[in-house]
Amino acid sequence: MGRSRHISVNPSWEYFKAQQHERLTAKKTAQIYARRKTDVEPVFGRMKASLGFKRFMVSGLTR
């Protein structure tokens, strides 16, 4: 027979989802993302186009 799977459901998922949505739609957050668009994203685009990078592995790095 096959293995049985156990699925856990977090009942407070909607609460945390709404909380994160509020954070992401705040005006201050929008300003940060707008600045990131001009500061950081062109660097990654150049790395992908010129240097041939396709993926960036960040697992295991401290953030």
Contact 30, 24 (CB under 8 A): no
- 4-59 pLDDT per residue, tens: 888 887 889 989 999 999 999 999 998 998 888 888 888 888 988 998 888 877 77
pLDDT at res. 8: 84
Question: Can you give the pLDDT at residue 28?
Answer: 93
8 Å CB contact between 23 and 29 = yes
Minimal CA–CA distance to 21: which of 32, 33, 31, 29?
29
For position 61, what pLDDT does the model report? 66
